[in-house]
Structure 1
């Protein structure tokens, strides 16, 4: 579950890092000033759309850090991460999350996901991280270490 107070502290840190006012930050991410005010005060929780706008406008902000406080800010980009990500074919996607006996979708197990993190794609790239978003707003993050 998202802790509003902690999220607002991290959002404030982002705003200060970029030397923005709440108004200019709101303008840059394309939301109303009141949205920032309500989130910073703890009155409202951030929507998924809000979080995605922050991430797309400020690439140094890492999702996992912003949501949970784990990880680092600003995000340190490695050179190989700047290459475009190769699309996953429907067949590859089905292989990760289907039961090979009857081709029905199954809930992925942590061990299955972690095993697949070391899978090399057809172009030789290794999966670095898998993030799964659930319908209740929570998510799971699996990183290759």
Structure 2
């Protein structure tokens, strides 16, 4: 099952990666801006249509990463699905066993997604400051965007 809070966090990572705000992202993938707002606020869950539109417009987004957090973003080019056949399933009476040219691979066994161990890249470069802090505890982090909006995070 898709955790909506985690999905929203990954959606925000996609927005930051492409440098888009919510309304321009909605326009780009062809959904209503209100749909995007409702998703980001956690009011609504993403539809299959919404997810497929993201994958169509942004091929670097990996389906399993976006839905489940497995895999990487952006998608690396050598990611593949690994097929592991089950060798214990074979019947003497089945029509497939009479065909000697047919492979013994079980076509209905599960596909296992092969994950790479590389972490998500950090795209923000820290800037050095001459300000010294008396405490080493962060109170608030504020991101200012070129379009005049901002996001404040309180740890």
Separation in 2, partners of 1:54, 1:44? 16
Once the two structures are superposed, residues 87-116 of structure 1 have per-residue CA deviations (whole angstroms, 9 ceiling, x without a partner) of xxxxxxxxxxxx98489xxxxxx99525xx
User: Is 1:58 matched with 2:58?
Assistant: yes
- Residue 19 of structure 1 deviates from its aligned partner by 0.0
Query: How many residue pairs were aligned?
Result: 95
Q: Secondary structure at the match of 2:7?
A: helix
- Corresponding position of 1:113: 109
- Corresponding position of 1:87: none
- Residue 5 of structure 1 deviates from its aligned partner by 0.6
Q: CA RMSD in A?
A: 2.9
Indicate how the Cα distance of structure 1 residues 42 and 144 shifts in structure 2: closer, same or farther if over 3 A, else same.
closer
Aligned ranges 1:33-112 → 2 under 5 Å: 33-78=33-78, 101=94
TM-score (norm 1): 0.57
Gaps of 5+ in 1: 82-98, 104-109, 115-129, 131-141
> Which structure is larger by alpha-carbon Rg, 1 or 2?
2
- Corresponding position of 1:5: 5
TM-score (norm 2): 0.54
Separation in 2, partners of 1:12, 1:55? 15
Once the two structures are superposed, residues 67-91 of structure 1 have per-residue CA deviations (whole angstroms, 9 ceiling, x without a partner) of 001110010113x98xxxxxxxxxx
- Corresponding position of 1:28: 28
